[in-house]
Structure 1
Amino acid sequence: MDKVTLNLEQKLYVIAAESGYSCFGFDNARDHANQIAQQLGRSDLAFAENDYAALAGYQKYLNATAAWGRSPLSQRTYFAPRTDPKAAKVLEAYRRSGQTIRLILGDLTTGESWLDEHGVVGRIGRSGGWLKVPLLVEPGESGGGAILTNCILCLVDWHTGKTPYRHPAYREANLSLSPNEEPTLPWAVKRGDEAIACFKDIGKAAAYLAFMRGATIEPSVFA
């Protein structure tokens, strides 16, 4: 095992590497190990009471991912713990079809979007390795970043604008367009009293607002 230390205050495993350090949360280690244990029917891979916030927990996570990688299930797409099965099913369908999709990510408790502008439109790919996680591959790219599948509020078909998946808590962002005091950027898009983006052109401001509420508008229109 790599050299691993505990950051108890931030609930992180700190993993030394040649170029520095990486971190992995105690909760992530536990949740992945427990999910893999359940799906493989291997209770020995699940966290015991004393594994959380202990080096034994990180080893348990490594054991679980290795067991998954050696099993026939490793050929499946691996979704993060607490991913809605309905969202996973839609992502898999789009991965197979190659069609373009829009991700709206955010807080599943409040239903509020994070208002991500980049890395949310593309086709669904899949990583290599033991845990083949879904990736968002933007147009013109051959690879992409892993999707936070347990933070999906809504999935939008980029060509039709329909929503094949919508989390029960999701609500479109309550945004407004108003004049801005900055003369070089006279238009502001606000969430409540907070300006989240300012624009020189009112048309771009309106396009940004519509995009953040789920409309299928190319980001280049307001960039």
Structure 2
Amino acid sequence: MNVTLNPEQRLYVIPCGDGYTCLGFDNARGHADQIAARLQRPDLAFAPGDHGSLEGYAKYQAAIAAWGRSPLTQQTYFDPGTDPKAARALENCRRDSRKVRLVLGDTATGRSWLDEHDVVGRIGRSTGTMKVPLLVEPGEDGGTAILTNCLLRLIAWDSGRDLYRHPAYRVPGLAIQRAPEQTDLPWQVLHDGTVVACFSEVGKAGAYLAFMCGETVEPRVFQ
């Protein structure tokens, strides 16, 4: 495989079908080091000089292959840096087929990304070597991979109770105002003073604001 390096963006560039896919240098090291620790295989961990090198990518591939040959491949695999409390909460919800709401964002600052799609559903799990958690929306059989190391809150949909809350999480600073100019979407929602969404009705703006603050409001109310 003709993998190349993009040092400026800190990426491995990998041929994939008729195009390319990318893997971050830090991600490759994080996965290799995590697998090395879980398997008690220090030979799989990155050594000085492996980061950002083709040797490092080969080490990452070797770690993934070793994981696939181990009994641990039957377990759910979480991203490096995932809070163990978050992993336990996600796994409990997967086993219970519980409907939940995810709040994802920057765990360093506690700032939410204000995602409105792929954040409500049950927790599933992928197949293959790395069985990662998925967010499966109602009525669907499959779903999208969850960035488990970016989880700020995990909320039980039926009760609105936090099943997990990152210590750094902070409720987003949202406000509603009427647009100063005539428009078909006169109701604006601001995040820290910046317009992030516009709506035709104030009720939809209010539902969006509540949802983004963690309330279990059905997204179809405002989408």
TM-score using structure 2 length: 0.98
Aligned-residue offset at 1:50: 1.5
Aligned-residue offset at 1:192: 2.2
Q: Tell me how far apart the structure 2 counterparts of residues 83 and 137 of structure 1 sit (CA, whole Å).
A: 20
CA RMSD of aligned residues (A): 0.7
Q: Tell me how far apart the structure 2 counterparts of residues 89 and 18 of structure 1 sit (CA, whole Å).
A: 36
Counterpart for residue 52 of structure 1: 51
SS for the counterpart of 2:106 is: coil
Counterpart for residue 196 of structure 1: 196
SS for the counterpart of 2:162 is: coil
Aligned-residue offset at 1:41: 0.2
1:118-157 to 2 correspondence within 5 Å? 118-157=117-156
1:80-119 to 2 correspondence within 5 Å? 80-119=79-118
Is 1:221 aligned to 2:221, yes or no? Answer: yes
Q: Tell me how far apart the structure 2 counterparts of residues 186 and 56 of structure 1 sit (CA, whole Å).
A: 55
Aligned-residue offset at 1:21: 0.3
Is 1:41 aligned to 2:40, yes or no? Answer: yes
Is 1:31 aligned to 2:30, yes or no? Answer: yes
In structure 2, stretches of 5+ residues that fail to align are none
Counterpart for residue 14 of structure 1: 13
Aligned-residue offset at 1:17: 2.2
Stretch deviating more after TM superposition (113-122 or 17-26) = 17-26
Aligned-residue offset at 1:118: 0.3
Q: Tell me how far apart the structure 2 counterparts of residues 183 and 33 of structure 1 sit (CA, whole Å).
A: 52
Counterpart for residue 206 of structure 2: 206
Counterpart for residue 160 of structure 2: 161
Q: Tell me how far apart the structure 2 counterparts of residues 154 and 193 of structure 1 sit (CA, whole Å).
A: 23
What amino acid sits opposite 2:200 in the alignment?
K
Q: Tell me how far apart the structure 2 counterparts of residues 77 and 165 of structure 1 sit (CA, whole Å).
A: 18
SS for the counterpart of 1:215 is: coil
| Structure 1 residue ranges, 4+ long, deviating more than 3 angstroms after superposition | none
SS for the counterpart of 2:46 is: coil
What per-residue deviation string (whole Å, max 9, x for no partner) do you get for residues 1-48 of structure 1? x21000011110000122200000000000000000001000000001
Percent identity at matched positions? 61
What amino acid sits opposite 1:158 in the alignment?
W
Stretch deviating more after TM superposition (10-19 or 179-188) = 179-188
SS for the counterpart of 1:164 is: strand
Q: Tell me how far apart the structure 1 counterparts of residues 150 and 157 of structure 2 sit (CA, whole Å).
A: 19
What amino acid sits opposite 2:192 in the alignment?
G
TM-score using structure 1 length: 0.98
